[in-house]
Chains A and B, each alone.
Chain A
């Protein structure tokens, strides 16, 4: 605690806080132009200058921590003069194009120019001919850029692409792609979000609407289990298009939260249908006759609840192998840890200084986890150990140690990891006995991870204070998933690691808590809700009856943080919804959101009405979204099983993994995201599978024809196969590595 004064008012700062942060917290206003809460200070605008009694000059409040007893003045004539001059400089030759600029009405430069009353240009400089850049989804106009550096900071510190940089050249300075002519990045669009002026803009949105015409609808991203907060910005289209409402863009609270490209650019997945009574009767009849309902986790909690009620009433079965995999993984985990949910969260990852990631391609599976890892690496200098059979070029700036294990050997690797991490911990005799009895030699040889690599992990993380173990979705459908889960529970229980397990879909967690799932049987009379079935309802793939997409529904999800998050209707759906069907089957409710308050409290939900749920961040970044689920106590009765012989994956092996920004059938039908459906492999894979780049191939048993692309950035003998494009999308409900047979198509 540091005590000091701002404008003679006593205030206190916590260790590490800057003068600006304290001022904001205590309600003092210091103008800023380049400050952004989630990155290190850019310190480029100098607008945040303040005076302090101990120094002669002016100090930058955004990067200076106070000292005990300091007397800070934040407004004086001298400061006002200084700030006004800065604003005058910003306005020199700034194009007078607010009339068409996308940012107008929400522009920091406009606001501050008016705030400081700059009505004329006092300085002059010869104007430059600056070229507008078109970088795919992003357009950059250097004449509007005020060189605040926010974009560069988020790209480097939060996203980790490190794709742009400032090219210094005095008055000619501009933002340029780093080490390449054209911008080559994962197109998260976060640089667009943070840009205080209209310099970086979305190319599809540019000039199509003004900020003040758009209606903002707070919602939750439907693409992955991170459940990021986003705002759909909606407006009517022109009269000749029927004046129908349309989503124009997605924005986010960039000061505290981050979005990936799928959330930001993949928003136009809504569908439309009208009320067709004949079809409706048919749907009701198929539900009535159904022996089971098969559904995907692209569903709200409320609808999952409806299905569960239907099961209770009609005695039908519920199939969802993907959520069932997660459910049994979590129950095995709970049987050792004694808790219903793991201890980690995205915030915990971002604050860690030691991270181990195992069994998932996080940059594609869950970008929010990747951003949290990048933040940890950049802000806390976190050591990051990445364990996976495949390297990930996107993480190369973040990871400090890459550990490659053989596909399929996760059980052995996790066991060895447990042995490493629990070495000096206070564990039960039974656990000690189990760990001591591991056949190190066999496990290391078969998983291809040497003893010395585990020693290096231990050494490199020894000093870390806040450590997180991240478990990817590979292991959720592993043959030995239950034992892997118990081992994870063991590590979390006895070590100082917090644990994060990455569920695959937006509401995998919610479904796993709400529904009693049955093992899928290939029976007939199955109704599919966004899944295969004899009668299919939903908004994905080829359906018999359309139900609203996830951006056309109100409801809630449970994110990987075990937080209940609400989402809202961006564009209205004219047809029927699931609740209409089930109401006529006797599971009655007026609105789907009537179920929000009824979600099972014994699973950690709270009895809160939908309309009472918040969905926003407070001015200081306080998370006011939904609520945190309660972690329940569970019986500890799990017994570790002996490690089975590790399987071998030889021959043509593929890994099911989507390209960045692609997740499921929703992202697959959006207009802005890249739809790369090719199978990618290294030169080594090509040689082994006797393929050359550009050949058309088909995986035996699947009906999708793909192009093989020889990818220089890949190594090893395993190729990547996307799944987002196969009718319902999402990752497979089976283990993600598979030995396959490739058939060449045509020639």
Chain B
């Protein structure tokens, strides 16, 4: 995903497409202000706007995205509702329960519970993010040593209450998604850029 666009020259000069806009001086006296109000009210600009809408409607060439039936594609680095990923090889959860995301979170909205499992390993029993508080800063994803918590693309999180949560079951990649190759890698800070040559969990590279 290389971008080779040339940089725009944003300096104002003869060559550049940028130029100063001629702005009329603001009225200062009461009388001038009154004249401006009268002029703006009766010039009929309102009808210009209505005409534009009317014209486009008749053309039947509408560019409006039919949300929610239709959604715009989102940049891979967009930071929306989190996901918890699995290891590609074994299907185990990547999260080791280190608690760094919980600690770094500046809105203090991650809560997790861990315990020792029967194989003497640390097991994450609960993991929740309060989306009502999350500011989608991405720190949690950045600090995670296991590339386990990442930001997904789901940005709809309307709710009846201010506090609402995503829990581990919602975020964790379902096993059948993993086997059918639907688990996407997070191309964010510290991660490698996924391409065809990546066949293992990026941690191993």
Interface of B is mostly: strand
Q: Say if the beta carbon of A8 comes within 8 Å of chain B.
A: no
A395 to chain B, nearest CB (A): 35
**Contact status A206-B116, CB under 8 Å:** yes
Q: Report B99-141 CB contacts with A as 1/0, cut-off 8 Å.
A: 1101100000001111110001111011010100000000000
**Contact status B126-A240, CB under 8 Å:** yes
**Contact status B99-A132, CB under 8 Å:** no
Size bin of chain A's contact surface? 10 to 19
**Contact status B114-A207, CB under 8 Å:** yes
**Contact status B126-A238, CB under 8 Å:** yes
Q: A238-B112, A239-B165, A240-B126 are in contact. Are A207 and B97 (CB under 8 A)?
A: yes
**Contact status A213-B126, CB under 8 Å:** no
Q: Which residues of B contact A207 (CB under 8 A)?
A: 97, 114-116, 122-123
Q: Say if the beta carbon of A243 comes within 8 Å of chain B.
A: yes
Q: Say if the beta carbon of A39 comes within 8 Å of chain B.
A: no
Q: Say if the beta carbon of A598 comes within 8 Å of chain B.
A: no
Q: A139-B120, A203-B116 are in contact. Are A99 and B145 (CB under 8 A)?
A: yes
> Total contacts A to B, CB within 8 angstroms?
51
A572 to chain B, nearest CB (A): 19
Q: Which residues of A contact B145 (CB under 8 A)?
A: 99
CA distance in complex: A243, B125 (Å): 14
CB proximity to A under 8 Å, residues B60-107: 96-100, 102-103
Q: Which residues of B contact A209 (CB under 8 A)?
A: 99, 114
**Contact status B98-A212, CB under 8 Å:** no
Interface of A is mostly: loop
**Contact status A238-B113, CB under 8 Å:** yes
- Of B111, B114, B116, B146, the residue contacting A236 (CB under 8 A) is B111
A204 to chain B, nearest CB (A): 9
Q: Which residues of A contact B116 (CB under 8 A)?
A: 139, 203, 206-208
A452 to chain B, nearest CB (A): 57
B113 to chain A, nearest CB (A): 4
A671 to chain B, nearest CB (A): 14
User: Which residue among B97, B120, B123 has the maximum number of chain A CB atoms within 10 Å of its CB?
Assistant: B120
Q: Which residues of A contact B130 (CB under 8 A)?
A: 239
Q: Report A127-139 CB contacts with B as 1/0, cut-off 8 Å.
A: 0000010000001
Q: Report A191-218 CB contacts with B as 1/0, cut-off 8 Å.
A: 0000000000001001111101100000
Q: A207-B114, A238-B111, A239-B126 are in contact. Are A100 and B97 (CB under 8 A)?
A: yes
A249 to chain B, nearest CB (A): 14
Q: Which residues of B contact A139 (CB under 8 A)?
A: 116, 120
**Contact status B115-A239, CB under 8 Å:** no
Q: A99-B96, A100-B97, A208-B115 are in contact. Are A239 and B128 (CB under 8 A)?
A: yes
**Contact status B96-A238, CB under 8 Å:** no
CB proximity to B under 8 Å, residues A517-555: none
**Contact status B114-A213, CB under 8 Å:** no
- Of A99, A203, A237, the residue contacting B113 (CB under 8 A) is A237
User: Which residue among A139, A208, A236, A243 has the maximum number of chain B CB atoms within 10 Å of its CB?
Assistant: A208
CA distance in complex: A238, B115 (Å): 12
Q: Which residues of B contact A213 (CB under 8 A)?
A: 99, 102-103
Q: A99-B145, A207-B122 are in contact. Are A238 and B128 (CB under 8 A)?
A: yes
CA distance in complex: A207, B99 (Å): 10
**Contact status B111-A210, CB under 8 Å:** no
Q: Which residues of A contact B103 (CB under 8 A)?
A: 210, 212-213
Q: Which residues of A contact B113 (CB under 8 A)?
A: 208, 237-238
CA distance in complex: A139, B121 (Å): 12
B115 to chain A, nearest CB (A): 6
User: Which residue among A132, A141, A236, A238 has the maximum number of chain B CB atoms within 10 Å of its CB?
Assistant: A238
- Of the A-B pairs whose beta carbons lie under 8 Å apart in the complex, a sample of 15, sorted by A's number, is A100-B96, A100-B121, A100-B122, A139-B116, A207-B114, A209-B99, A209-B114, A210-B98, A210-B103, A237-B113, A238-B112, A238-B126, A239-B126, A239-B165, A240-B126
Sorted from nearest, which 4 A-B pairs have the closest CB atoms? A99-B98, A238-B113, A100-B122, A207-B122
Interfacial residues, chain B to chain A (CB-CB below 8 A): 96-100, 102-103, 111-116, 120-123, 125-126, 128, 130, 145-146, 165
Taking A99-B98, A209-B114, A240-B126 as known contacts, 5 extra A-B pairs with beta carbons closer than 8 A to each other, sorted by chain A number, are: A100-B122, A208-B115, A238-B111, A238-B125, A243-B111
